[in-house]
Chain A
C-alpha cells in the first residue's frame, strides 16, 4: 500500500493517475483560493447548500441522457444538470429569505436538505430502473477517482485554471465587497455583480469538485484551507494563495490515497488532510496558534512577576 501511495504521490502510478492527481491538485488550488473569499463574505453555508442542491440535477441529466439512448456517463452533461439544479436551489433560497420570515441559515438548511433528499430519491429510482450505467453516480456523493477519464481530468484542470484567472482579475472588488460593502458601492464597485461573481466562482468549484471530492464534502475544500491559511496570514491575498496551496496539496495527496486504497472515496481522504493541516495550524501558527499564545502568556506573567519583585 505504501508503495502504491508513494508512486501515486510521485506521479509514477501511470498516466491516468498522474492526470487525475494533477486535476485534483488544480481543483484544490482553485477551491482553496475562491474559498478564502467565500468564507470572508460569509457564504460558507450557502456553498454547502449549493453543493447539495446539485444532486437532483445529476439524476435528471442522467435520465435525459439515457432517454436519448446514451449510457448517461458524460461528465460535462452531468455537470450542466448539476449546475442548473444548484442555480435553482440558490434562486429558491433567495426567494425564501426575501419573501418569508425565515432567517438565512434556516432557509439554507431547508433548501440543502430538501434538494439532497430529492436527489437521493432520484438516484434510488435510477438504480432500480437498471438503465444506462449508473454505477458511477454514487461517486458524486463522496468523490471517486476510479473510472475517471482523461477528458474529465483535463476538464477539471482547465476549469480550475479559468477560475483562478477570474479570481485574480476580480480580487480587488471582491475583497472590498467582503470587507465593507457600503464603502465598496460608493467607490463605484458593483457589489451585486461582485457577489454574483463570487457565487458563480464558488459554484464552478463545486461543479468541478463533484467528481473528485463529492457533493457532501466539497464544502470542506472551500472552507478548511481558508480557515487554516487565515491562521498564518493577515493579508487577504496571502490567505487566498496559502489556502490554494493547502487545497492543492490536499487534492493531490487525497487522490493518491484513493489510488493506493481503491475502496477509499477521495472526498473523505481530502477532507481529513485539510483538517490535519487545520489542526496543526491551530497549534503551531505564530501569533494566533495555541502554543504561541500560551508562550506569550507565560512570558507576560514572568515579566509581571519580575516587575513585582523589583518593586
Chain B
C-alpha cells in the first residue's frame, strides 16, 4: 500500500487536522487543527473544561476521536509513538502502588528492554542519570507513595526522559508543585528544547506563559488562536477563551 498523503514537512512534530472528540454525544473538542513545529515549546491554555487534556489524549490515541487526523513527524501518530513521551496528570495513577522511584523511571525504558530483556548496566546508569537531571537521584530507592507532589511530578518527567522522546507532551506538569520543582522542571524542558526537542504542555498559570513558552494554543472546545506567544498571547485573544475580567496581567 502506498500512503496517499504526501510526506508532511519534517519541521512539524505534531499536526492536528479537524480533530473532534465527543463524550456521551457532547463535543468536548470540536474541529481542532494545529501544528507544533519541531524545537518549540507550546502552552495549551484555556479555562477548565475547555478540552485541553482531552485534546492531548485524543491526539495520542488514548481516547477515540470522532473525526480528524493526527500526524507526528509526518507519519500517523500510532507509527511515531516510539518518539513521543507522555507525562500524564499526577492524579491519574495510584501512588500507593508498590514501586520504587527507580522502578517507575525504568518503565520508560520498556521499548529497550521489552518483555524479558535484561536491564543492562548502561540502561541502569541512564535511568539514574534521568533522575539526577531532576535532582532526584537520592530518592531512587524511595517508595513512590512517600514522595511529595512535586517529587512525584519530577519522577514522571524522569520517566519521560528515560524514553528519550523527540516530542514530550505534558498534562498540567506544574499543578500543585512548589516553586523549586517548577524551576527544576522548566530547566529540564528548556534544555530539551535547546536540543531540538518539541514540548507541548497543558498550562494553567497565565502569568508564566511568556517566560516559559514560545508558542501558545488557546482553546475553549474549539481552537481560538494558535501561534507564537508574542502574537497570540494578547488580552483580546485570551478574553475570547476566558471571558473578560482578571486579565490585567496580559499584554494588550
**What residues of chain A have their CB less than 8 Å away from a CB belonging to chain B?**
40, 169-170, 172-173, 175-176, 178-180, 182-189, 230, 233-236, 238-239
8 Å CB interface, B95-129 against A: 97-100, 103-104, 107-108, 110-111, 113, 115-116
Contact status A40-B97, CB under 8 Å: yes
Prevailing SS type, chain A contact patch: helix
B189 interface residue, CB < 8 Å from A?
A: no
Q: Is the CB of B115 within 8 A of A172?
A: yes
**A234-B99, A235-B99, A236-B97 known; A186-B104 Cβ under 8 A:** no
B143 at the interface (CB under 8 A from A): yes
Q: List 20 A-B contacts (CB under 8 A).
A: A40-B98, A170-B115, A172-B110, A173-B115, A176-B107, A176-B110, A179-B94, A179-B104, A180-B92, A182-B57, A182-B92, A187-B111, A188-B82, A189-B110, A230-B98, A234-B98, A234-B143, A235-B98, A235-B99, A236-B99
**The residue from B93, B116, B163 contacting A179, defined by CB atoms under 8 A apart:** B93
Contact of A182 among B62, B84, B99 (CB under 8 A): B62
Partner of B62, one of A186, A188, A234: A186
| Contact assessment for A179 and B88 in the assembled complex, using a CB-CB cutoff below 8 Å | no
Task: Decide: B116 and A169 in contact? CB cutoff 8 A.
Answer: yes
The A/B interface has a contact count, at CB < 8 Å, of 71
Q: How far is the CB of A300 from chain B (nearest CB, A)?
A: 16
Are A186 and B86 within 8 A (Cβ)?
yes
Q: Interface centre among A183, A186, A235, by most B CB within 10 Å? A: A183
Interface size on B, residues (CB 8 A): 29
Contact across chains for A180 and B98 when beta carbons are under 8 A apart = no
CB pair A188–B81 under 8 Å, yes or no, is yes
Q: Look across to chain B and name the residue whose beta carbon is closest to the beta carbon of A188.
A: B111
B62, B145, B163: which contacts A185 (Cβ < 8 A)? B62
Known: A169-B116, A179-B99, A182-B62. 14 other contacts (CB 8 A): A170-B115, A172-B115, A175-B99, A179-B104, A182-B86, A182-B88, A184-B110, A187-B107, A187-B110, A187-B111, A188-B110, A188-B111, A234-B145, A239-B98
